[in-house]
Every structure is written in structure tokens, then in C-alpha cells.
Amino acid sequence: MSPAPHAPLFVREMGLPARFGLYVLLCLFSLALDARYSALSGVRTGLNALLHPLQIALGKPWEWTQNTAGFFVIHGELTAENSQLRRQMDLLRAGGQDRQALLAENERLRGLLALPSRPGITPIVGEILETVPDPFSRKVIINRGASNGLSPGWPVVDAAGLVGQVTRVFPWTAEVTLITDRDQGAPVQNLRNGLRLIVSGQGSDNLLEIRFLDMHADLKPGDWLYTSGIDGLYPAGIPVARVVQTEPPRNTPFARALCQPLGGVGQYRHVAILKPDPAVQAQHAAPPAKAAPTAKHPTDRHGSR
């Protein structure tokens, strides 16, 4: 037990306000560095690597209680779920056959039109560890990181549709910004007529919006929006949202549309990170990168691409 230092007899240090001022300056400096120049990503990555095992260890007891509780699930519940899954599987099998036929047909049509075939993507399955406790943004942490070959900018999907984008990569974890985040956007195409749009989050969990919509744009409630693939980051054809409502321009020259995300944003525990094929990336990199505005977020903050 070391004795607590009492106030020294002769004070030879700066006064409290001066010390406080210095710390405030230091904080503001690091805030500015982080917000404007992202110069502290190395420090952040290092500290995160130290903190991550601790956070995992802290979560373990909770996980154990969950597992124990899950062990005592009633038999009937399992049977019901089993039969439901069986039915679902039948449905999926039927759908799958359909899909095979469609894929073949698509391939033929693409061949006819002399279009390059769909770029290859490798999915990496990850589990959501936690949501980032930040009142300003909607982000989650997944258990795949730089050690699994992730890099910022890759799209994250689930079984139903687009969920978000990898924005920060740590050694064993990565931060995924959900499409419902205000600063996040995705280039999409209307399935009905091929209209190109940009869908962005608006900070609420189950609504997306199309901000600067041309007032004569042909967009109706019920339209399906799929990624267009023109930004070179998101592969084409991932379902993103369904239009719920269009609002005519009120005080601005632009109309606005509200959409419902199709992917279970904030619902599922498992997601797939789509790893783009290097060959395809090279092909996209060859022309001067005409990145869509969505790609801006991870690129300009991290400059890793």
C-alpha cells in the first residue's frame, strides 16, 4: 500500500486553470486532427487492439448466461421451428431453381449483348459484436478485421439486402456504418425503369431517404431500388430499399422520397462482407476513378484506396 500523496508543502506546478487550459488545447488539437485529417488512425488502431480482448472478456459472462438460458428451450418450440424451417427450405428450393434458370438466361442475354459477366465477389461471413454507443451515428462492430483481409469501403449485406459499408478496420474487428447513418449513401437504380438515384440514411432505424430528387423523376411508392454498381464499390444488383412515399418539393427545388431498407438493418447478428475480386477492382481502377459520392466517406477519411 503506497501512501497517498498529500498536497506538497511548496507548490511548484502550474495552477489549475493553466493545466486545464493545456489539456483543453490538447483535446481540441486531437479532435481537429481526427476529424479533419484522420491522422490518429494509427493510435486508434493500437489502442483498439489493446481494448478489444478486454471488451470480449467482459462480454463473455453475458454470453454464457445466454447460452445456458438457450439450452433450456422447450422442446415444442424447437419442433415448431423445425417444421417452419422445413417449409421455408422447400420454398427456397423452389426459388433457387427459379434463380438458376434466371441466372442461365441472364448469362445468355449478357453474352448476346456482349457485356462482361457479373464481377466475382467473395462473401466473408461475420458476426455483429456490438453497436457503437454513439448518439450521432449508426454503426456496428463486427468480428472480422484486418487479420481476415478486410479493408474499408467493402459493402456489407445480409440475406435480404444491403446493410452497410466497412468504414474502419482494426486488427480483429471492423466498424460497419449502416446505411441508416446520416452520412452514409448508396448508389441505386430503380428496378422498374433503371432510374439512377442515391439513397442515404436519415438517422432513423427503418427509413432511408432520397434527398435531392428531381421533381419530375419517375419514382412511385412500391418501387424497388437495387444497387447500380456504377461506383465500383457496391456490386450491382443488391436489393437496398423499397420506396414508401414520395414528397413533392416544398421549400426546395427538389423532391424527396422515403424508402424502407430491405436488409435487416439492426436486426440480425450475422452479416456477409462482400470482398471484391482484385481483377475486377483493377478493371475499375483503370479509368480515372469516377467514384460515386457514396464512396467518399471511407476514402477521404482514411485514404486507403
Partner 1 sequence: MARAEPTPEPPLLPQGAELAAPPTRTKVYASLALALAATLLPWDDGIRWLVPDFTLMALLYWNIRAPRLAGLGAAFTLGLVTDVARGVLMGLNALAYCAATFVILMVQRRLERFDAPRQAFQVAPVLLGKEVLVLTLGLMMGRAEADWRWLAAGVAAALIWLPLAMLVDRITGRPAHPVQHLP
Task: Count Cα atoms within 13 angstroms, Cβ side, for 228.
Answer: 19
20 binds partner 1 (CB under 8 A): yes
Residues 253-292 that bind partner 1 (CB under 8 A): 266
Identify which of residues 27 and 78 has a Cβ nearer to partner 1 in the complex: 27
User: DSSP assignment of 150-200, as one string?
Assistant: --TT-EEE-SSSEEEEEEEE-SS-EEEEETTSTT-EEEEEETTT--EEEEE
User: Quick check: 300 binds partner 1 (CB under 8 A)?
Assistant: no
Of the candidates 68, 71, 96, 129, which one interacts with partner 1 according to CB under 8 A? 129
Q: Name the 3-class secondary structure at 209.
A: strand
Q: Interface with partner 1 by CB under 8 A: which range of 41-49, 221-229, 233-241, 249-257?
A: 41-49
Task: Tell which one of 98, 105, 107, 130 touches partner 1 (CB under 8 A).
Answer: 130
Polymer length in residues for the chain: 305
DSSP, res 251: S
Provide the β-strand partners of residue 86.
none
| CA distance linking residue 127 with residue 30, whole number of Å | 31
Give the three cell numbers for residue 167: 468504414
* In the complex, least distance from residue 65 CB atom to partner 1, rounded to whole angstroms: 12
Answer for which of 124, 132, 207, 258 binds partner 1 (CB under 8 A) is 132
Residues that bind partner 1 (CB under 8 A): 1-7, 16-17, 19-20, 23-24, 26-31, 33-35, 40, 43-44, 47-48, 51, 54-55, 58-59, 62, 129-137, 139, 141, 168, 175, 182-183, 203, 266
